[in-house]
Structure 1
């Protein structure tokens, strides 16, 4: 299979020049190992995987001997399976000023983050990887926009075809797992079944001590059904046959595993009467669609939930942009106790950029009326608009535009 360049490569290599240890975490099968092995080609860096039982046993029994056999610079795959290595990595870091000596991958878990943070504080940079973005799948450069002005959007449009709803919903339904590229619908179903059984359920039991696997499986499906909505733990728990408090704990587990993320509402001291309940989204829309039994792109496109899936897709693409980019970016949404809402608020360089997300090609310009509520925040309001199925960028007013989904 041809290697697909990842937007995270730039930041990873930069951090490898700054930190002695760099670790890439993320959900299972998103491409962590593939990226690091690609970057390590022709570098003389040793590769070792903790999936090998004999190697793993040595690493946990005798870390000193392990590093005599696998000397830095080294790439250690699935490091969460050999927690005894962290203390020895710390010792080796303190013996040398060399940067980038240790490249690590780890499937995301609370235990792994605690082990790495406790042992390697000040020595390690940690990055999170998601499944493939639309830009990565299309081979486009990592061109995260500095501006959402009309001139900037028109410039970006020059290199891209017109927006197309069929292409967008193909991306949404297929998701971005690297192993699933070019799979047909039948094999895709089997992949997701295997992914849930072999990874998600096993990690739920082994890493998080969840014994009610059937309840957890129902909870996973319930999260897919509630994707794009305000979190209600009682409703999620009821769907899975567990209490609201258990549902809250299980949601944290899925967050830690990199399966879902909770988008927090925007809040500052200048804004009153704001809600504080987050919204639930899936990191990969393909998994979400599978869990909700959407068997094809067209059934999803024509289904009642198609708007929710578009919103999930846009928010997850923006999440990737903000994670991989150079600038510090905060993503939130706005909702007050009067039910006034803005789907997405991006804070960058001291400005707030508001966005609505609509499935229409010609959405009603009135959809941006709530944007004015951000003026009370005390922050400067930057360009924004309606992210939609418009073929090309088009101005709504001086500050806001129709933004084709494929320009993200």
Structure 2
């Protein structure tokens, strides 16, 4: 069991709202987190047929009868009528905060139901896979961040080797469940083989600019259909769409978003990468490392600066930076390299990007040791020294 940084943010939301919604991909650890933070709450799984039947008959009675000190409702989107009952129960005692914890992995339906029934009554937390800092805690801490890079941050995938298994076996079972059960539950009648092919194409294009027309042509689908599938992958937390940053600097800017499979364990499984030796010699190694660092930063950034926004920057002339973190009016640039990067040319390029974007700082993160100042406002950091680091406000 890992110590999740999200627990602090979850407790903050529970002090502000009568209900808290925890969103995240299936098997990311939502139930474990909720039961850790709210250990004295009653837990109910609405996927259980008996429980679901009782709530379907009279949801408000069941809420009132079972609430006790509080109630955790898992997979609540399986029973939409429970949201109207929750609204009534909350409004009967609006001054009591943190009474209900709602868990769900099918974001589109769940967010729609919350928006319709619980607007203003619920705080929302997105639970991501493990960060490097979190993976180093608990009963079986991960000492080498490269293990997390290879296997990904889903707890059961990361712990597969300790159980005598392999992270790729876990991901194969996960993808089957996702394509054959989760997508139909979200109203997506897609051929599982087609979804697998799309995910594999996205893996080969990891971190590249979105080109849905090319994907559609390769898979024999219309572009609107392909756009819908990509939306669903994003909404179910498997895909990140990183938007470009726009600023009127008189330069032609790239306007298409970049697409990342969010977990490197999934990426490596789709590309048949089963060991660090294979990863080190694979053509996707650079894009995989970029994904790993971007996701680790953004998972922590979302908790410390929950209202921030992430972008990338690229001009038609080739100037680019992998990540721009926007917090209010402040910008911080992050460039990611696989090898130690101390080039004066790179530092000069980042200085120019800082001037173009107005960024307050620029940081290079690589796999080398130590921390080096390279130019005014530009610093190189080794990833091992950056597992708790975020740019200063």
Flag whether TM exceeds 0.5 (same fold): yes
Evaluate the alpha carbon distance shift between residue 395 and residue 81 of structure 1 in structure 2; reply closer, same or farther with a 3 A threshold. same
Q: Report deviation, 1:211.
A: 3.0
The separation in 1 between residues aligned to 2:257 and 2:108, in whole angstroms, is 21
Give the match's secondary structure for 1:396.
strand
Q: Which is further off, 14-23 or 301-310?
A: 301-310
The separation in 2 between residues aligned to 1:349 and 1:209, in whole angstroms, is 37
Aligned to 1:181: 158
Evaluate the alpha carbon distance shift between residue 299 and residue 385 of structure 1 in structure 2; reply closer, same or farther with a 3 A threshold. same
1:222 and 1:239 in contact (8 A); partners too: no
Q: Which runs of 5+ in 1 are unaligned?
A: 141-163
What do you get for the CA RMSD once the two structures are aligned? 2.0
Q: Report deviation, 1:269.
A: 4.1
1:263 matches 2:242: yes
The separation in 2 between residues aligned to 1:90 and 1:348, in whole angstroms, is 33
Evaluate the alpha carbon distance shift between residue 237 and residue 11 of structure 1 in structure 2; reply closer, same or farther with a 3 A threshold. same
Aligned to 2:297: 318
Q: Report deviation, 1:349.
A: 5.3
Aligned to 2:67: 71
- Relative contact order, higher structure (CA 8 A, sep 6+): 1
Give 1:202's match in structure 2, choosing from 181, 188, 208.
181
Aligned to 2:198: 219
Evaluate the alpha carbon distance shift between residue 188 and residue 122 of structure 1 in structure 2; reply closer, same or farther with a 3 A threshold. same
2:264 and 2:291 in contact (8 A); partners too: yes
1:170 matches 2:168: no
Aligned to 1:50: 46
Cα displacement string for residues 11-57 of structure 1 (whole angstroms, at most 9, x for unaligned residues): 1001101000101001000000001011122x3x2111112111112
Evaluate the alpha carbon distance shift between residue 211 and residue 182 of structure 1 in structure 2; reply closer, same or farther with a 3 A threshold. closer
Q: Report deviation, 1:348.
A: 2.9
TM-score by length of 1: 0.87
Cα displacement string for residues 361-396 of structure 1 (whole angstroms, at most 9, x for unaligned residues): 24533224433134244x3x3222211112000111
Aligned to 2:365: 387
Q: Which is further off, 211-220 or 185-194?
A: 185-194
Q: Report deviation, 1:200.
A: 4.1
Q: Which runs of 5+ in 2 are unaligned?
A: 388-393
Evaluate the alpha carbon distance shift between residue 349 and residue 390 of structure 1 in structure 2; reply closer, same or farther with a 3 A threshold. farther
Aligned to 2:390: none
The separation in 2 between residues aligned to 1:367 and 1:199, in whole angstroms, is 42
The separation in 2 between residues aligned to 1:195 and 1:267, in whole angstroms, is 37
Aligned to 2:14: 16
